[in-house]
């Protein structure tokens, strides 16, 4: 028997969601899941190099948080587990897949690869290979929008930044330094810890003196909330509240989303350390199946409508692979291009 930290079932009575919104959230999660499954296939066929970290199981967090933001205006900062965050931000699947194939048409021009997705247009501040490296970058982005809005009087700078990172990252120094500054300066930022219980092979409970990460917000006088990261409606609800606070100038929030990755740490990880029982327990809480059940129960979707979304998304993924395959490699004579911003 495994004893797992989970939260009581989220009460959906307060949720107001239209059919259109429901289908959009479903499609976003399916896009993430199907994209990652295709990545695994392509990686094992030798189409990608280096480390590739998949997001299966955690989709409700990317969808619930990012789809509550203003697309192409608010900022998102990711980690090396960044494909699905990029997709939720609106970076086309073609450009993400081409980046993983190291092609010139990728969102980072084939120079970044899986762990370094970037899109100025879609306000994706980047994937970062070093654990916790994105936290100061995101904090800086939040500082600049506040500065533009309050000091320079730019009303269009009412922007919110979301910073994603893992449970392992929450033990790094940047986490504490940045939460302190963000709270002190009331920055418009939301720190989202995706607590999937593991940092490669290190169990979260063995690595930290206080495993309930959301409680660490209190020492900075910052609101900290825990949420069921397998329930997209629960995540969306806490995100909406935190975004409204940040946009109103009331400062940052720390959200701890309880989740699980359904695959190994990276595609090079044989995933032998996590117990069978633990994997089974969390596998039964699949966020996509849970949300499909909600949609049926509330007459927001028919089986055939969801199947139609799945077919459409599969076609997008297949097209992305073809695009990536047919795209050119970067030209070696342009090795130094894009090193500086003015090369763009």
Ligand X SMILES: Cc1ncc(C[n+]2csc(CCOP(=O)(O)OP(=O)(O)O)c2C)c(N)n1
Calpha distance 259→257 (Å, rounded): 6
3-state secondary structure of 318: helix
Confirm or reject binding of residue 81 to ligand X (CB under 6 A): yes
Closest distance of CB 160 from ligand X, Å = 22
Closest distance of CB 211 from ligand X, Å = 12
Q: Which is nearer to ligand X, 49 or 130 (CB)?
A: 130
At residue 192, what are phi and psi to the nearest 5 degrees? Answer: -115, 110
3-state secondary structure of 124: strand
Site string for Mg ion, 169-208 (x = CB under 5 A): ---------------------------x--x---------
Confirm or reject binding of residue 166 to Mg ion (CB under 5 A): yes
Contact residue for ligand X among 65, 169, 239, 321 (CB under 6 A): 169
Closest distance of CB 166 from Mg ion, Å = 4
Q: Which is nearer to ligand X, 102 or 166 (CB)?
A: 166
| Binding residues among 171-210 for ligand X as defined by CB under 6 A | 196, 198-200
Calpha distance 241→243 (Å, rounded): 6
| Binding residues among 243-282 for ligand X as defined by CB under 6 A | 265
Q: Which is nearer to ligand X, 89 or 129 (CB)?
A: 129
**Which residue is listed with tokens 């990460």?**
213
Number of residues that bind ligand X (CB under 6 A): 14
Q: Which is nearer to ligand X, 78 or 108 (CB)?
A: 78
Q: Are strands 202-203 and 198-199 parallel, antiparallel or unpaired?
A: antiparallel
Calpha distance 177→289 (Å, rounded): 38
Alpha-helix runs per DSSP H in the chain: 19-44, 59-66, 83-89, 93-100, 134-150, 173-184, 204-207, 232-247, 276-283, 287-297, 303-326
Longest dimension (CA), the chain: 59
Closest distance of CB 164 from Mg ion, Å = 11
Interface ranges with ligand X (CB under 6 A): 81, 129-131, 165-169, 196, 198-200, 265
Interface ranges with Mg ion (CB under 5 A): 166-167, 196, 199
């Amino acid at each position: 028997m495994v004893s797992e930290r989970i939260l009581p079932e989220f009460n959906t009575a307060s949720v107001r969601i239209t059919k259109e919104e429901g289908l959009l959230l479903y499609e976003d999660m399916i896009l993430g899941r199907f994209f990652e499954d295709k990545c695994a296939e392509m990686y094992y066929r030798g189409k990608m190099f280096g480390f590739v970290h998949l997001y299966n199981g955690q989709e409700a967090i990317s969808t619930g948080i990012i789809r509550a933001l203003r697309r192409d205006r608010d900022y998102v900062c990711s980690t090396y587990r960044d494909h699905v965050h990029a997709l939720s931000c609106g970076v086309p699947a073609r450009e993400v897949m081409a980046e993983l194939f190291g092609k010139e048409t990728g969102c980072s021009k084939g120079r970044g690869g899986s762990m370094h997705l970037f899109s100025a247009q879609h306000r994706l501040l980047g994937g970062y290979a070093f654990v916790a490296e994105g936290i100061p970058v995101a904090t800086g982005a939040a500082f600049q929008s506040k500065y533009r809005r309050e000091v320079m009087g730019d009303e269009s700078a009412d922007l919110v930044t979301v910073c994603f990172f893992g449970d392992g990252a929450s033990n790094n120094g940047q986490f504490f330094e940045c939460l302190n500054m963000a709270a002190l300066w009331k920055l418009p930022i939301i720190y989202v810890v995706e607590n999937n219980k593991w940092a490669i092979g290190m169990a979260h409970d063995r690595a930290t003196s206080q495993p309930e990460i959301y409680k660490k917000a209190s020492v900075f006088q910052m609101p900290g909330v825990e949420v069921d990261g397998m329930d997209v409606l629960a995540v969306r609800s806490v995100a909406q509240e935190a975004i409204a606070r940040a946009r109103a100038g009331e400062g940052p929030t720390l959200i701890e989303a309880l989740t699980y990755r359904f695959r190994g740490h990276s595609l090079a990880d044989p995933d032998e350390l996590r117990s069978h029982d633990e994997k089974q327990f969390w596998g039964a809480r699949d966020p996509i199946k849970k949300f499909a059940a909600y949609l049926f129960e509330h007459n927001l979707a028919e089986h055939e409508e969801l199947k139609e979304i799945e077919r459409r998304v599969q076609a997008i993924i297949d097209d992305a692979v073809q695009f990536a395959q047919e795209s050119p490699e970067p030209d070696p004579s342009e090795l130094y291009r894009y090193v500086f911003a003015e090369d763009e």
